[in-house]
Amino acid sequence: MQRGFLRAVLSTLLLVGFFVMTIVNVWQSNRIEKNLINLLNRIEAVEKALENNDFGAISGHGRTRGGIFGVSEPATVTAAMSDPKNVFSRDNANWLPSDAKQGGTLNLKMGSDPKGFNWLIENGADVSEIQAYVHVQLGNYHLKDVTQYKGELAYHWEISEDKRTHTLKLRSDFFWHKPTVDWASGRYDWLEGPHPVTAHDVVFMLDLMTNDQVAGAAPLRSYFDELESYEALDDHTFRIRFSTPKYMQKVMVMGLYPLPQFLYANDEVGEAYEPEVIGKRFEDHWYNPMGLGAGPYILSRYEPGVAVELKRNPKFPLGGNAMDKILYSILKDQNQPPRKLRTGELHLSSLQPAQYRAEVLEGDEDSPFKNGQLQGGEFWSYNYFYIAWNADQPYFADKRARQAMSHAFNAQLLIDDVFLGLGERCTGPMPTVQPYYDRSLDPYSFDLEKAKILLEEAGWTDSDGDGIRDKLIDGDLVAFDFNFIVFGSSNEYKTIGNIYKEDLAKIGIKMNVSPMEWANLLKKVDAREFDAVTLAWISGPPVDFRQIWHSSQADLPKGSNRVGFRNAEADRIIEALELEFDEAKRKALSHEFHKLLYDEQPYTFFYTRKSTVFWQRELKNVWFQLTRPHVNTRPFYLEG
Amino acid sequence: MLNYVIKRILLMVPTFAAISLVIFVVLNFAPGTPGAQMSTGEAGGQDASSAGEQRESYRIFKEQFNLDKPVLVNTRYDLGQPEIQAELEAILNVNGESSPARRIQAQEDIENWGRYAVVGLVGVLSDTSNSPELRALASQRLTFNAQKQNKLVYKKNLSDEERAQVKAIAKANAKVRAWSFKADATPQDMSATTTTWNRWFEATAADWDYTRRERFEIFFFDTRFAKYWGNLARLNFGVSHVDKRPVLQKVLSKLKYSITLSFSSVLLIYAISLPLGIWSSIRQNTLADRVVTTILFMMYSLPSFFVAVFLLNLLTRGTPLQVFPTSGFESLDTSQMTLLEYLKDVGWHIILPIFCGSYAALAALSRYARSGLLDVIRSDYVRTARAKGLPEAVVILKHAARNGMIPILTLLASLLPTLIGGSVVIEVVFGIPGMGSFLFESINLRDYNAVMAVLLISSALTLVGMLISDLSYALVDPRITFE
């Protein structure tokens, strides 16, 4: 009895002792770990400082260490600005105001996992957005005027008299970022820099783009059909020639960018790929999960499903990078962004129309969306929504019938009520924000009487008295009873369908709304198995109508001229536009085309949507770009 | 026992093969195609600049992933001139009757038939009674279809011999690519090109004359299913259609999230429902038992996506309470955390997901525990134990519960696949990049290889789990043997 008791006491004491020791142990190691992290941070800071100094010594001009406003311009660049032959001109708009502050981490969101950051083969919107921060192009549009160009990597751009030869001079103060690899392992020492960005890197990009094995570059390749030759005249001069000059070539040349040859031409241990397989090797290159650029931010971390992290490039010559870090959280559930705006976890996010309604139009007065904690704004992107009428169907072969459909469509009401006023009525085949959009044309009025008259003129009458108009076509009495395909995952589209259906019923037309899932919808549209469908086109600033409107595209399987629009006059304008370089004449031609389609109404042009964005109060100088990505945060800075 | 295990394992092989066949067939015949752009931009928007001109890249994509092959059996060695001519005429819409859908299909067919169409194409081309348009199209198609697939380029680390082979194929393909003419070409050009093709055709005659053995091999082995299984047999799940990364690597990177989540919820479920079940079986049919049962079944019937969103809006948004983080498995930047801080951070993030993932299972499991115990609580040996004068707690916990919990224990083994599989709803709503959301996205993107890999892994685990569950019966209950 006595011994048993003693044993019990002893073992209890021992257990308690172990327990206490474990706690002390954990606490101790936690403290050590903390110190270690601090130490590592300090070493990193020292390393960074050293690296920047080193860089100044190597490149011979320490000026490139300039802050968020960039460095003073090299004399050659200044001289080039006054050369009348130079296509680039000085952009007087600045990214940042002179009192902008540097520093801080900007928290943004991304709605999907980027598939990788090989700029040439990935064309997703998410990858393009990151590319805009991490990389540079030869040139770009002016910040506030998309009809003019400014230099980025290139500073001088000369187009020959016959418009076939483009010669560009590149700046010599751009350097490739340091690749994000496990440097400590020693396996990647062969990547050690610094590597200047040269004309050879642009040539390397074109080599890969024209390489058949690089399937991902095929969409881009189609713009270079007339490509004749390209070469690097020296390290910083690049020349490209086309067999026939076309206007879009100008835009494509401006959008060219270099690719780091020192990285992509080699496998993981630094051995060069054989030329026979380099295309395929490039498509699944070992560095593709990451991306390398020479832009204002460095891609420093990517965890699929979690985050993309960008760090400020302190050596970027053009500035416009106030934030030390941009941290994208990947939020695939669309309900997350408004939640995270409320908690302050996101600095900025756009809202979907339904969220805009819930949070802003119908939200509580004291919610952050209303009480001033969050600021709101909007931007226009290059898009227009439309209803396409399949002209190969009997109902819409006659333009008067199509005009009648437009008169029966209560577009303004739908924009105001269904789309919450977040858009502008559009009258022709380009977004209303297009510089060459013709504002002199009035939208088709909502006028059922007029629609009736037009239908009568087109021969659609109710001859059998069943309340639905009909017409004798090739001996058969065809009733005006058609299918309207809408994108089924969107409630707004279904509402449009239902309201339109009621209005059409009033003028004796029967419309059946069929909502469809995206893949199915595209299949139907590609196969032309539709009467009418509502969709949207998204484009860029330059006008190029061939793909959607030229008659040569009307019979192409899966072609984009899905309504079968064939019009000799339209073809003439499209072809003339392709060859016209003079901006004033381009504008005149665009207006002419706009008027023609306004009259023909192959589509009922609906509206151009604007997007709403909300951001935290401490984010300053928020304004949006005219080109994609519209929410480019380079002008923004964090206060305090 | 050993015999039984071996027998079961052998039986697993055909079962697994049958499962994989079913999954494969369903997946491949489901509507939608991989690689076709699934993203809608903004609702209903299409990019005007890249809507067309994707054909060639799509063809290469199909070739790389064997999507140009038939799913189960291949009879394309029999394709002759009539079939090819019919398809070409459909593309050109010669008789004015082929609908756009038919033309798209015809184009796709000719593309997918690849080298098998060469015989017919050469036939159409050489047949001078055909219209120039048809012959021109045949010559243009030949420049693609006659190219040899250069599959070696997907392989890493080529030997010198293979390198030479790649070079030879690339050279031969480049040669072939040049031999086409347009419909308005001169008759001389046409006949010259036709002669070139015929000469080439004769030189490569051995390629087109399929022996009986070759036909057999093509019939069974030049198919998607055979190719997939060929890779799978070498434990190669292939690469993702989406980002060309190895699928297995992607799956492994998701395990950390799913295992943490499901392991903790299984632990939680058992920790709560076992005592609860025992408690309510002792108090069978009392008011307390009924109340608990009702509450549990109410929880059981609440859908978890609703509860998840409700809790998120209530406890994370800041009005009225802001207790938990809004989403994710851990904070965005964990590089500055010590291990303890990291564990705390993860714990804080996964409390809500674990709750949402487990509350519904409480009802089922505690009912199992309750009925399991009720089964034994009135048996003779329990009465004997009571008669011996043992305290009630010892009777229940030591004598009754041990036997009553057998079904519960064996249920544990069948949870093996869910441990890995994750939960789609919870992971998507809480933004946790685990297996569930991975499967969900892969299905949306029609990433066949990824979907196959996830489903096959979890069906293999289901089979193993069932075996373990059967064996554990024998282990815990001496009355059951497999002899």
Pairing of strands B45-47, A532-538: parallel
Task: Give, as one character, the DSSP assignment of residue A434.
Answer: S
Q: How far apart are CA A282 and CA A261, in angstroms?
A: 11
Which amino acid, B472? S
Pairwise CB contact (< 8 Å): B437 & A519: no
Q: Give the number of other Cβ atoms within 10 Å of residue B315's Cβ.
A: 17
Pairwise CB contact (< 8 Å): B253 & A307: no
Q: Determine the pLDDT at residue B38.
A: 43
Q: How far apart are CA A251 and CA B394, in angstroms?
A: 84
- Cα Rg of chain A, angstroms: 30
Arithmetic mean of pLDDT, A216-245: 90
Mutation for testing the B interface, residue in A115, A209, A290, A333 having most B CBs under 10 Å:
A333
Q: pLDDT tens, A379-422? A: 998 999 999 999 989 999 999 999 999 999 999 999 999 889 99
Highest mean pLDDT (candidates A423-432, A621-630, B133-142): A423-432
Arithmetic mean of pLDDT, A276-288: 87
Token pair 């040439």 is found at A120
Q: Determine the pLDDT at residue B404.
A: 82
Q: How far apart are CA A446 and CA A410, in angstroms?
A: 5
Token pair 């064939």 is found at A566
Task: Give, as one character, the DSSP assignment of residue B149.
Answer: P
Q: Catalogue all structural domains in chain B, each as residue range(s) with its CATH number.
A: 38-146+179-233 (no CATH), 247-476 (1.10.3720.10)
Tokens of B64: 């790389």
Tokens of B81: 């001139």
Task: List chain B residues with CB under 8 Å of A544.
Answer: 49
Q: How far apart are CA A110 and CA A93, in angstroms?
A: 28
Q: How far apart are CA B132 and CA B185, in angstroms?
A: 8
N-terminal to C-terminal alpha carbon distance within chain A: 72
How far is Cα of residue A274 from the mean position of the Cα atoms in its chain? 34
Q: Determine the pLDDT at residue B321.
A: 79
Q: pLDDT tens, A451-491? A: 999 999 999 999 888 999 999 988 889 999 999 999 887 78
Q: How far apart are CA A245 and CA A162, in angstroms?
A: 8
Tokens of A304: 């699929």
pTM above 0.90, yes or no: no
Arithmetic mean of pLDDT, A231-256: 94
Q: How far is B44 from chain A (nearest CA, A)?
A: 5
Q: Determine the pLDDT at residue B39.
A: 43
Pairwise CB contact (< 8 Å): A306 & B329: yes
Mutation for testing the A interface, residue in B37, B243, B306, B438 having most A CBs under 10 Å:
B243
Q: How far is B103 from chain A (nearest CA, A)?
A: 7
* Residues forming a β-bridge with A170: A154
How far is Cα of residue A130 from the mean position of the Cα atoms in its chain? 10
Pairwise CB contact (< 8 Å): A526 & B100: yes
Pairwise CB contact (< 8 Å): A536 & B44: yes
Pairwise CB contact (< 8 Å): B53 & A560: no
Q: How far is A53 from chain B (nearest CA, A)?
A: 26
Phi, psi of A475 (to 5 degrees): 85, -15
Indicate the class that CATH gives domain A383-611.
alpha beta
Pairwise CB contact (< 8 Å): A535 & B45: yes
CATH architecture of A75-90+105-312: Alpha-Beta Complex (3.90)
Pairwise CB contact (< 8 Å): A280 & B154: yes
For residues A286 and A619, the answer to whether their CB atoms sit within 8 Å is: no
As averages over each run of 10 residues, the pLDDT of chain B (483 residues) reads 89 92 87 58 53 61 82 87 89 82 86 89 89 88 84 72 82 83 85 90 86 89 89 85 86 90 90 90 89 92 91 82 87 85 92 91 88 87 89 85 80 76 85 90 86 90 86 78 73
Round the average pLDDT of chain A to a whole number and report it. 90
Secondary structure of B75-108 as H, E, C letters: CHHHCCHHHHHHHHHHHHCCCCCCCHHHHHHHHH
For residues A131 and A628, the answer to whether their CB atoms sit within 8 Å is: no
CA-based nearest residue to A532, from A366, A386, A317: A386
CA distances to A214, A254, A295 from A204, rounded to whole Å, are 13, 16, 18
Q: Determine the pLDDT at residue A235.
A: 95
CA-based nearest residue to A446, from A488, A489, A499, A369: A499
**Predicted complex ipTM exceeds 0.90:** no
DSSP state letters, B345-379: HHHHHHHHHHHHHHHHHHHHHHHHHHHHHHHHHTS
Q: Determine the pLDDT at residue A588.
A: 95
Q: pLDDT tens, A155-175? A: 999 999 999 999 999 999 999
Tokens of B383: 């009465």
Pairwise CB contact (< 8 Å): A383 & B45: yes
Q: Tell me the three state secondary structure of residue A106.
A: strand
CA distances to A87, A174, A261, A293 from A155, rounded to whole Å, are 9, 12, 22, 18
CA-based nearest residue to B231, from B31, B27, B20, B3: B20
Q: How far apart are CA A144 and CA A122, in angstroms?
A: 28
The number of C-beta contacts closer than 8 angstroms across A and B is: 205
* Residues forming a β-bridge with A231: A239
How far is Cα of residue A154 from the mean position of the Cα atoms in its chain? 22
Q: Determine the pLDDT at residue B45.
A: 60
What is the rounded (10 degree) CA torsion for B178, B181, B186, B190? 80
Q: Determine the pLDDT at residue B50.
A: 47
Q: How many CA atoms, within 13 angstroms, populate the side-chain half-sphere of residue A52?
A: 15
Q: Determine the pLDDT at residue A543.
A: 83
Pairing of strands A374-380, A532-538: unpaired
Tokens of B394: 């010892």
Q: Quick one: chain B helix, strand, coil %, rounded to 5?
A: 70, 0, 30
Task: List chain A residues with CB under 8 Å of B433.
Answer: 304-306, 330
Q: Determine the pLDDT at residue B338.
A: 87
For residues B51 and A547, the answer to whether their CB atoms sit within 8 Å is: yes
How far is Cα of residue A290 from the mean position of the Cα atoms in its chain? 19
Pairwise CB contact (< 8 Å): A538 & B46: yes
Q: Determine the pLDDT at residue B186.
A: 87
Q: How far is A339 from chain B (nearest CA, A)?
A: 6
Task: List chain A residues with CB under 8 Å of B328.
Answer: 306, 329
Q: How far is B458 from chain A (nearest CA, A)?
A: 21
